Structure 1
Amino acid sequence: MIHSEFAQVRVEVDHHGKSPRLRLEDMRSGRVRYLDALELETIVWLRDEHLAELLDPSADRWREDADER
């Protein structure tokens, strides 16, 4: 588990698909996301500006329509 004062996330490697992928679970909401190797590589190559946009919690997390996206 990885946590800070702002978030708590369980991180596991999932082997149930065609290839291994990362399973991320938000411990507060129970929401789960799976990331494959290509998605993880994309995150590694993001410019800092794009990563900062993704990390802004007001962009999606705290919006009422966040689950509709």
Structure 2
Amino acid sequence: MKKGLVYSAAILAIGSIFAKFVGVFLKVPLINLVGDYGIGLYQLPYPIYTTILTFSMTGFSLAIQ
């Protein structure tokens, strides 16, 4: 059975909303556990991580081979 584009987009949207809720429910206890200073240290390498993740997901490794 062939599914349409709207069905596939709805599945992706539901999955992304679910992932956001899971992230919130995991981050709130982490904030309470480690405090402001700990969250500051947790957020410090985040821009570097997202940059590396972006390059790895866009096929940068294939382009430099």
Higher helix share: 2
* TM-score above 0.5: no
Q: Tell which has more relative contact order, 1 or 2 (C-alpha 8 A, sep 6+).
A: 1
Greater radius of gyration (CA): 2
Structure showing the higher strand proportion among its residues = 1
TM-score grouping bracket, smaller chain normalisation: 0.3 to 0.5
TM-score (norm 1): 0.33
**TM score, norm. by length of structure 2:** 0.35
